[in-house]
Structure 1
Amino acid sequence: MRHVASEQPLDMGHQTETHAWDAELVPGPRGRTRRPEPGCPVEVALAAVSGRWTTLLLRELMGGPRGFTELRTLLPELSAKVLSERLRALQERGLVQAERLPGFPVRTRYELTEAGRTLRSLLVELYATGEELLRLTHAGSGDE
């Protein structure tokens, strides 16, 4: 049985904040969500590096502009189809820009945008965190 008089409309939030947020984990109001939100900074960062091969592609582009063939050489197991898809997705996210070079055959050079270059510290931290997790969970295969 519902007690209609005591219910708040669905769109009405609480008037006071009672949750004690960790100021390091959630330094601003955008992260104070109860579910994944597109404007949450953590969700934005995760979306930027999501997708198989994306982190490796970003890593290679951190070294400077690269052509499609050069990227295929650096990541030989990455198919041309998936490389094209990842580059297109990174362009749509505003992380990579493409420049068509004159001449025949037409060549394209890919370069990180300023937004794409900001991902460097995230990739460095992801690597360090992964190393630590492997060490702590003994998941490493003795490659130490």
Structure 2
Amino acid sequence: MRHTTSEQSGEIGHQTEIHGWDPELVPGSAGRTRRPEPGCPVEAALAAVAGRWTTLVLRELMGGPRGFTELRTRLPELSAKVLSERLRTLQESSLVTVERRRGFPVRTRYELTEAGRALRPLLVELYATGERLLRLREAELPARPARFT
């Protein structure tokens, strides 16, 4: 059996694929997938900001290098354990570098790498999109009748 549609289209993908990709949503072949793949640019971006508190830690580091205590002060409701976990994950993802300064106590500074700084437009757009979604959801809520007491 031949799959003439995919053979004639010249597009990269599985032979049985006959999907018309939206060029704005999928401008390159890496995103032409039927399931989440680590090599998909959208999945890579989402993985970089995944996890509760991650976007806030990134936001704080966008202002420049910060020490652990400074991050704790700027995010007082974030536990030291979770902050350590998020910073470790960001370091393992090559988004943050860590500098340990000698002395007592040892001082630790965290700084975004070039890849970490590249997340700034994504965070800005996520904020703007979130604001829009909240407004739209609010506008679509049915009017609630007044309660009489």
TM-score per shorter chain, which class? 0.7 to 0.9
Give the whole-Å Cα distance in 1 for the aligned partners of 2:61 and 2:107.
16
Q: Which residue of 2 aligns with 1:14?
A: 15
Q: TM-score, normalised by structure 1?
A: 0.85
Residue type matched to 1:20 in 2?
G
- Deviation of 1:20 (Å): 1.1
Q: State the alpha-carbon separation in 2 of the partners of residues 52 and 130 from structure 1.
A: 16
| Whole-Å separation in 2 of the counterparts to 1:108 and 1:34 | 42
Deviation by residue 1:16-38 (Cα, 9 ceiling, x = unmatched):
x5211110100000000000011
* CA–CA separation in structure 1 for the residues paired with 2:134 and 2:51: 21
Aligned length in residues: 130
- The percent of aligned pairs where both chains have the same amino acid is 80
Secondary structure of 2:90 counterpart: helix
Aligned partner of 2:21: which letter?
W
Partner residue of 1:128? 128
| Alpha-carbon distance, 1:103 to partner | 1.6
Q: Which runs of 5+ in 2 are unaligned?
A: 4-13, 140-149
Give, in whole Å, the separation in 2 of the partners of 1:82 and 1:132: 29
Q: Which residue of 2 aligns with 1:108?
A: 108
Runs of 4+ in 1 over 4 A off after TM superposition: none
Greater relative contact order structure (CA < 8 Å, 6+ sep): 1
- 5+ residue gaps, structure 1, are 1-5, 140-144
Q: What corresponds to 2:49 in structure 1?
A: 49
- Cα deviation per residue 1:106-144 (whole Å; 9 max; x = unaligned)? 0100000000000000000000000000011108xxxxx
State the one-letter code of the partner of 2:111.
E
